[in-house]
Structures are given as structure tokens and as C-alpha cells.
Chain A
Amino acid sequence: MIALELNGLVKRFGSIVAVDNVDLSVREGEIFGLLGPNGAGKSTTINVICGLLSPNSGSLRIFGKDPLKHEHFAKTQIGIVPQDIAVYNDLTAYENISFFAGLYGIKGKELHKNTLEALEFVGLTDYQKRFPKSFSGGMKRRLNIACAIAHKPKLIIMDEPTVGIDPQSRNHILQSVKELNRRGSTIIYTSHYMEEVEEVCSRIAIMDHGKVIAEGTSKELKAMVSDTDTLCITVENGLKVDEKALLDIPGVKNVNIHENELRISTSRDVVSFPKIINTLMTSDNTIRNIESRTPDLETVFLSLTGRKLRDQEA
């Protein structure tokens, strides 16, 4: 069974094409990762899926049904953890979860039971009577998740659920993603942190500028760059180098410069290492460290786009 299917989805905002002809197919029971830098179009894709935005063209199906024709069905099947924390500060943790689940039509004992389960699941049982005002960032993120799962959706979409939290809370959230999946939910996990996506997702789509530029398991994606090595070179003081000169070296595929750090993707078959060093030395750089990395999703993204995933941050 296909949980979610997108066909040729396009969403424009004026001249910006936020989602550009996206085809995706998420199978029931998967943890599907949507990886891409800020502005790639991940949140926009999600807003189209949950019906908040209507697409300019293309079609989508949720568990085989057109959400435009089966709005109630689609909405109750999906649980969304929004990118921005969306809870009421003047309602307790319990009241927040119970209120949102109630809007899906759950009532009475079942509502109470589901609410307690959701609290338990995110580890906020002891804080159920507290107001989110007093919560840490991580606790708020967990409450944000609890509010999206108490109505027991079959498809849970998490939009960057770990932004701005401590490593411990992040770990807790990653574990709960896996646990939710074990309990039978299909999950779409959106992030610009490739380590997270690599850790929890069974299949991954990489998005950039509204397009899906690669798709597959983590292994398959890395195999795409199996002929590539990444060279990380750190220099003293400012890096003085002509990017073009480096790209002219045979075997060099991509160059990414960030302050004192230089990342170069090179073809494994061509020996380019001495020439790279030579170019750097003749440009008057003092090399402090050289490191060769095995390919990870970062390498994949770098070799596909020539940019680092987290360019915008830093």
C-alpha cells in the first residue's frame, strides 16, 4: 500500500517555484526522509499535502484517495508536527494535547486515554498539568509532537522536529520517531541535518530548489558517489586561492570554500591530490590539516549541487 503519492507537484509563490515538479511515493510502514537545505521547499510540500496550500499543478493521493475529494478522511489520517512550535501557552500540556485530538472528533474516555498515552510517549507525564511557558525548548518540541499524534494518525509528517534543541532531547525525539514507526505509523521526516536522516530513515529524497534531485536508501545514495572522495583541507589565516584554478585540475568535481576550510570532491580514479596541494602552496597558503572522508549524505549533496547542505546556517 502506498501511503503518500505525489505526481508532478508544482507550487509557485509569484515568481518563486517553491515545489518544482515533485514525484514522490512513500510506502506504508516506511520512515521516509526529506533532506534539503533551508528554502528547498520541504515545508511547502508538506503544506500542500495537508491541504493548507493548493498546488498549481500535479496530483496527490493519501492512502490511495484524492484528499480534495476525501478531505475528512485525509485530514484524520495525517498528523503533522509543524516546523514552528504551535501550542497554547495558557493551556496545560494535557489540555493542549486533548484539545487538538478532540478536534479530530475523538471524545470521552478514548480522548483521555490517547492524551495520557501521548504524554507518556514524549516523556511529559510528570509535566501534564504545567503550562508550556515554563518548558525548555526540548520539552516544547516534545509537546509539539504529542499534539500531532494523540489522534493516532497512520501517516505522521515531522517538519524539522529537532531545530534548536539540546542533543539529549534530539536523541529522545529520534528514538520516538523509530518507536512510532514500530507501532505502525508511516513517517515522513524532514530535516536539513543529514546525520539524523541517515540514522532514522529507511528511504531518503534529497530536495534542492524545489526539486527532488536524488532518491533512494542511504546506501544507494552513497553508491552514487562511490567514485568520489572528499578532501577536507584546513589552512592558517584566510584561504587565498582561485576556485577556478582548483576546478581546472583534472579529477576535481566540486569545490566548496568556507572561511579557513576547503572541501573538494574528487574523482577516485584520477590522482589529483598532488596538484591540489601544489596549487594551494603556490598561492601562499599554510596548510594545517588534511583529511580524506568516506562519502556521506553531505558528500552526495555536495557532489550533486556543489554546495554544502548547511551553507545558510553557519
Chain B
Amino acid sequence: MKIVRLIVKEVKQQFRDTGGLVLMTLFPLVLTLVLGFALSGLYADDGDLEDLSCLYAKEGDSLLAQAFERDFLPVSHEAHVFLAEEPDIDKAKALVESGETHGFILVGENRITIFTRDSSGYNASFLQTIMKSFTQTFDVMTTVAQTHPEALQTMANTDTSQSFTRQVSLNRSKSPRAMDYYAITMLTLIIMYSSLAAMSTVVEDKRHRTLYRIFITPVKNHELLISKGIGVIITTLCQVIFVFIIGKLFLGANWGEDLFSVFLVILAEIVMMVSVGIGFAYLFKSHENAYALIQTLIPILVFLGGGYVNLDIFGVGGILSTMAYISPIKWINKTILSIVYANDYSSLGTTIIICFSIAVIFISISAIFSKKEVKV
């Protein structure tokens, strides 16, 4: 009951902070719009797909290799993928490394391997996706051929290659437009700033001596901490939902089909940043230092996370690309983009674990350091 009271008060105060509300809602929407238009040339576009030129090689003359040449090669250009054979595997790999070709497809006995320079970029995930759907089709055909050879005739009549490319093109147009990209990264960017809101609830309570007043009531320290955390989480969630809805309705942002998983990542980010904010408020004696540190850290982490520009698109490889993974926001953006555009859930678990581990660390810091303050 007391906790509910404390939470309601926090939420009320947050919603009265018009500056904070504008920062958290209008700011990301306007930035999405501006960056979405300004940088649209750098990202995929609905009508005008970038051509991908790739090399391929066959290892032996397997059934798979035959199917590849028979069914895939003739239609691949419809998905703007242009293939040339390069039997020298090492040379092909070197060309990929040097960036002279977008990718290299090695067709083996019974599997297809794809080489790209940066395995997390859109071109890479696009190639992965189309080759996956190709091998799946192939697998079905082989199974059918083995068990019901008579059915194969019927299937051959329905133009499988045609439907295959349609599927491929569809996949291709699913890579994010600039607007879609920024709708996601600007949302994850502002959530970073929920740490400031969380920090100021603690700092303001100290500054206005209201913390003293709360401590002379029967409220326990952990009740206060929990309610502050939940209060800011609730407010941030409301803001996020607002930005989400407006972004979808007016900017046509694409959030994919699996909203639940995307929401899970966003919630994990909110919980992490709110904990960081409260932890910082207790960790630092000087509020100015705590504010300054967070204000400096966020843009760096967001930059590394590709929040402002997609580092993959600029081909910034090597050290920076690797370094980016120290930024939790890199994991968050990558996970959401993978879920929305490639149905790829491989990093979801890691991201959630990273967020909650950081949250646990800072919640513990708050619990330890705030206890000391009760006594002085």
C-alpha cells in the first residue's frame, strides 16, 4: 500500500516534468523523421534495391549443386543478386575480404556456406535468408523425390522457381529503410536517457530534503528504492508506447511481426537504465559528476551501438566493429533489427542477460550505498 503510494507519486512527478516528457517523446520522433529523410540514401529503399554481386563455387557435382545451378542461378537476378562462378575458393574468399565482391557462396555436397566480410550486416543476413529458403525448398523436393516420385511431376508444373524468387524479393525488400532503422535506434536511444530521470528522482529527494521526511516515516529503505525504480519504469514504458504508436501510424515504422520479443528487449533496456540511474545517484557524492558521466557515456555507447549511423553500412569494420560489442546498446539494436528483419533470435538471450546483469549490479550498489545514507 505504501509502495503503491510512493509509485503513484513518482509517476505523477515524472508526468509533470514537461521538459523530460518532450525529451522522451517528441525528440525521438523528430529525430527519426529528420535522420530518416536525410540519410535515406544510405539505407535500403522500397523500390530501388541495391544490386549485390556475388561469387559462387561448387564442390563436386552434387544434387544440391545441380539444383543450385538449375533453380537458383536463372532467377537470382530478380532479387538483385548477380552471381559469377569462381572455382578458386581461396581467391574468392580474398575478394570478399577486400570488398570487391559482396559475398561468396560455396555449394558443398549437402550444405551451402556463405562468406561475407561482415557477418552481421544486412547483405549478409539477406544472403543467409535467401540461401536458407533455397535449401529448404531443395530439402522438401529431395524428400518428396525419395518418397513420392510421382508427385514431383505435379510440383514441377507449378512453377516453383517463380514462387521462389518472389519469396526472395520479398525478403530483400525487408531490409530496413532509413526511417525504420531510426525508429528503432532512436527509441533505444531515448530509453538510455531514462537513467537521467531515475537519477534525478533520488537527487531531487536529497536536494529538497524530502528524503529526510520520508525516512522519518515508517517507510523502509527498500520500499523507497523499489518504488522509485518501478515509478520510472512505468513512466518510460508509457513514453515508449507513445513513441511506438506515433512512429507506426505517422512514420510507418516497421517493427516486424513479433512485437512480444521486441518488447522484451525494450523492457530489459529500460530496467537496466533505470537501475543504472538510481545506482549512479547513490554511488556519486556529487550529483554534478554523476550527471556529467551519464551525459558523456550515453552518446559514446549509442554511437558504438549504431544509434546515429549504421556502422555496418559505412563498412567500418575491424576494431570499431568489435569494440561496439562492449556497448549494451549494440546488443539491443542488433537483437531488435535481427528479430524484425531476419527472424533471427540468436542474440536475444545474450542481450537479455547483459541487460539484467547490469541491472542487478546497480540495484545492489543502490541497496548498499543508500543504507549508509539513512544513518547520516
Residues on A facing B (Cβ under 8 Å): 50-54, 71-72, 75-76, 78, 80, 82, 84-91, 95, 99-100, 102-105, 107, 147
Pick from A52, A84, A103 the residue with the most CB of B within 10 Å.
Answer: A103
The answer to whether B12 touches A91, judged by C-beta atoms less than 8 angstroms apart, is yes
B219 at the interface (CB under 8 A from A): yes
Which residue from B6, B13, B219, B375 sits with its C-beta under 8 Å from A88? B13
User: Given the complex, which residues of A lie within 8 Å of B12, measured CB to CB?
Assistant: 91, 95
User: Given the complex, which residues of B lie within 8 Å of A107, measured CB to CB?
Assistant: 1
What 0/1 readout, one digit per residue, does chain B (349-376) give for beta carbons within 8 Å of chain A?
0000000000000000000000000111
Report the separation of the CA atoms of residues A87 and B209 in the bound assembly, to the nearest whole angstrom.
Answer: 7
The answer to whether A103 touches B208, judged by C-beta atoms less than 8 angstroms apart, is no
Which residue from B1, B209, B376 sits with its C-beta under 8 Å from A105? B1
Separation in Å of the B232 CB from the closest CB of chain A? 15
Which residue from A71, A80, A86 sits with its C-beta under 8 Å from B210? A86
User: Given the complex, which residues of A lie within 8 Å of B213, measured CB to CB?
Assistant: 82, 86, 100, 147
The 10 closest A-B pairs by CB, nearest first: A86-B209, A103-B217, A86-B213, A75-B218, A84-B209, A102-B5, A50-B216, A90-B16, A72-B218, A86-B210
Report the separation of the CA atoms of residues A51 and B16 in the bound assembly, to the nearest whole angstrom.
Answer: 33
Separation in Å of the A154 CB from the closest CB of chain B? 15
Report the separation of the CA atoms of residues A189 and B274 in the bound assembly, to the nearest whole angstrom.
Answer: 41
Report the separation of the CA atoms of residues A90 and B375 in the bound assembly, to the nearest whole angstrom.
Answer: 27
Separation in Å of the A107 CB from the closest CB of chain B? 7
Report the separation of the CA atoms of residues A87 and B212 in the bound assembly, to the nearest whole angstrom.
Answer: 10
Give the residue name and chain of the A residue nearest to B14 (CB).
Answer: A90
Using known A-B contacts A86-B208, A86-B209, A88-B210, determine if residue A99 contacts B9 with beta carbons closer than 8 Å: yes
Separation in Å of the B231 CB from the closest CB of chain A? 13
The answer to whether A52 touches B216, judged by C-beta atoms less than 8 angstroms apart, is yes
User: Interface residues of B toward A: which range?
Assistant: 20 to 34
B2 at the interface (CB under 8 A from A): yes
User: Given the complex, which residues of A lie within 8 Å of B297, measured CB to CB?
Assistant: none
The answer to whether A82 touches B212, judged by C-beta atoms less than 8 angstroms apart, is yes
Give the residue name and chain of the B residue nearest to A88 (CB).
Answer: B210
User: Given the complex, which residues of B lie within 8 Å of A102, measured CB to CB?
Assistant: 2, 5
The answer to whether B218 touches A76, judged by C-beta atoms less than 8 angstroms apart, is yes
B226 at the interface (CB under 8 A from A): no
The answer to whether A99 touches B218, judged by C-beta atoms less than 8 angstroms apart, is no
Report the separation of the CA atoms of residues A84 and B217 in the bound assembly, to the nearest whole angstrom.
Answer: 17
User: Given the complex, which residues of B lie within 8 Å of A50, measured CB to CB?
Assistant: 216
The answer to whether A85 touches B13, judged by C-beta atoms less than 8 angstroms apart, is no
The answer to whether B215 touches A52, judged by C-beta atoms less than 8 angstroms apart, is yes
User: Given the complex, which residues of A lie within 8 Å of B6, measured CB to CB?
Assistant: 103
Report the separation of the CA atoms of residues A85 and B208 in the bound assembly, to the nearest whole angstrom.
Answer: 8
B22 at the interface (CB under 8 A from A): no
B63 at the interface (CB under 8 A from A): no
B159 at the interface (CB under 8 A from A): no
B38 at the interface (CB under 8 A from A): no
The answer to whether B218 touches A51, judged by C-beta atoms less than 8 angstroms apart, is no
Which residue from B5, B209, B217, B375 sits with its C-beta under 8 Å from A85? B209
18 A-B pairs (CB sep. < 8 Å): A50-B216, A52-B374, A76-B218, A78-B216, A82-B212, A86-B212, A88-B9, A89-B208, A90-B16, A91-B9, A91-B13, A99-B9, A100-B217, A103-B6, A103-B217, A103-B219, A105-B1, A147-B213
